[in-house]
Amino acid sequence: MYQPEQDITDLVSVFIQFPQDPLLQDRVAALVATGPEQAAYVEGQLLGWLQAGTPVTVMATLPPGPLKPLYARKSANVCITGRKWIAVAITAAVLVIITGVYVYLNRLPDKLLLYTNRTGHIDTLLPGKGCRIIANKQAVIGYGVAAGGTPVLSMESGDAWFDMDGKARMRMQLDERTVLCAREAVFNVHKTPSLFRVFVVSGKVLLKPDRGHQTTLMAHMMGKKELHHPLQQKSYRSQSPLAWKTGLLQFQDIPLEEVLDAVNSYYGIEIQVLPSAGKLLQQKITANFGQKTAAEVLLVLHQLLQAPIVKNSGNQYYITLR
């Protein structure tokens, strides 16, 4: 049975996310041409992803034969006196009670109410004590309250600013696999069908995946998760993710990655840089996009980068090297 190396599985995974990248197309075509096993593997991965709509996980093949334990531990006769049994029982009962109270207080509401900002302007929400939300136009947010009074939200699409003061706590579903927990923090969330971005203004937030370790974001840090990609975090020089709220679109030697955050949120478009053009993300940009239309901004970026900006579909664009 064909067992692909890690670099091949990584190549196919990135290609699934960015099939329009010409360099990735060439590399996958070369892989398919190397032999029938490689071609069948690529075809199977693409079909599996299309059918499931989720990342394809490649499982390692277990060696034949029965599995043996890593170590064996000899059993020992343990004698527990009556008094110790009572202590153990009391401890167990206390743990059960504490667990039950915790589960009850954090029990999620059966259904979240869905809010869509159709006011035509930025709107303010107060979902719970000590929690204030400023939602951009067309932002979609699900909200409710857990049994213990903690606001429970889900960021569906768009941009929103969250301000948690005092002892207020909040739990937010960012995607199917990631939950945000915050207390005494101010942060911004940007959400599209293919990614989410969390930018912390003050305090700290925790991003908890269903598997693996949680990530802590402090002030001026960005957490970004794209479909089929692991969570990334980095410090930002600017507050570009807040452009939809502040209206500030003037940049002085700011990396393209941060500039695109501002442009995407302010104009409601989605400009991506293909992996083969990834080096452009760190190119410094000096420009003033104030009073410009989205089309004019795209033209200026094309001139500054000397790279094609191709419209994909709807309001989605990508930057490539050819």
Q: State what percent of residues in the chain have pLDDT above 90.
A: 46
Nearest-CA neighbor of 109 among 123, 132, 128, 126? 128
CA distance 252 to 249: 10
pLDDT of residue 64: 43
Locate 312 and state its tokens.
Answer: 């994909």
- What CATH number should be reported for the domain holding residue 122? 2.60.120.1440
pLDDT bin (cut points 50, 70, 90) of residue 26 is confident
Q: Confirm whether 312 is domain-assigned.
A: yes
CA distance 13 to 24: 11
Q: What is the pLDDT of residues 66-113, one digit of tens each?
A: 434 433 444 444 445 555 555 555 555 555 444 444 343 344 455 788
CB atoms within 10 A of CB 165: 14
Say if residue 222 is in the same domain as residue 204. Answer: yes
Q: Confirm whether 74 is domain-assigned.
A: no
Say if residue 145 is in the same domain as residue 44. Answer: no
pTM score above 0.85: no
Say if residue 153 is in the same domain as residue 260. Answer: no
Least-confidence region, from 22-26, 40-44, 105-109? 105-109
Residue type, position 291, single letter: Q
Say if residue 314 is in the same domain as residue 264. Answer: yes
Q: Confirm whether 79 is domain-assigned.
A: no
Say if residue 245 is in the same domain as residue 301. Answer: yes
CB-CB contact of 112 with 143 (8 Å):
yes
Say if residue 38 is in the same domain as residue 125. Answer: no
SS (H, E, C) the chain: CCCCCHHHHHHHHHHHHCCCCHHHHHHHHHHHHCCHHHHHHHHHHHHHHHHHCCCCCCCCCCCCCCCCCCCCCCCCCCCCCHHHHHHHHHHHHHHHHHHHHHHHHCCCCCCCEEEECCCCCCEEEEEECCEEEEECCCCEEEEEECCCCCEEEEEEEEEEEEEECCCCEEEEEEECCEEEEEECCEEEEEEECCEEEEEEEECCEEEEECCCCCEEECCCEEEEEECCCCCEEEECCCCHHHHHHHCCCEEEEEEHHHHHHHHHHHHCCEEEECHHHHHHHHCEEEEECCCCCHHHHHHHHHHHHCCCEEEEECCEEEECCC
pLDDT of residue 66: 44
Say if residue 225 is in the same domain as residue 250. Answer: no
Say if residue 121 is in the same domain as residue 229. Answer: yes
Residue type, position 280, single letter: L
Pseudo-torsion of CA 9, 10, 11, 12, nearest 10°?
A: 50
Residue type, position 314, single letter: G
Q: Across residues 270-278, what is the average pLDDT? A: 91
The residue from 187, 216, 235 where one domain ends is 235
CB-CB contact of 317 with 309 (8 Å):
yes
The residue from 235, 269, 300 where one domain ends is 235
Q: What is the pLDDT of residues 144-185, one digit of tens each?
A: 866 555 678 899 999 999 998 867 788 899 998 899 999 889
pLDDT bin (cut points 50, 70, 90) of residue 312 is confident
pLDDT bin (cut points 50, 70, 90) of residue 24 is confident
Residue owning tokens 């915050």: 182
Locate 111 and state its tokens.
Answer: 């259904």
Q: Confirm whether 133 is domain-assigned.
A: yes
pLDDT of residue 322: 79
Say if residue 231 is in the same domain as residue 274. Answer: no
The average confidence (pLDDT) of the chain is: 81
Q: Across residues 251-260, what is the average pLDDT? A: 95
The residue from 167, 202, 235 where one domain ends is 235
Say if residue 134 is in the same domain as residue 213. Answer: yes
- What CATH number should be reported for the domain holding residue 268? 3.55.50.30
pLDDT of residue 73: 43
Number of domains in the chain: 3
End-to-end CA distance of the chain: 37
pLDDT of residue 70: 35
CA distance 197 to 163: 16
* Residue-number span of the structural domain to which 263 is assigned: 240-319
User: Which is higher by pLDDT, 96 or 34?
Assistant: 34
pLDDT of residue 127: 79
- Buried residues in 174-194 as b, exposed as e (16+ CB within 10 A): beeebbbebbebbbbbbbeee
Say if residue 230 is in the same domain as residue 312. Answer: no
CB atoms within 10 A of CB 92: 10
Say if residue 135 is in the same domain as residue 214. Answer: yes
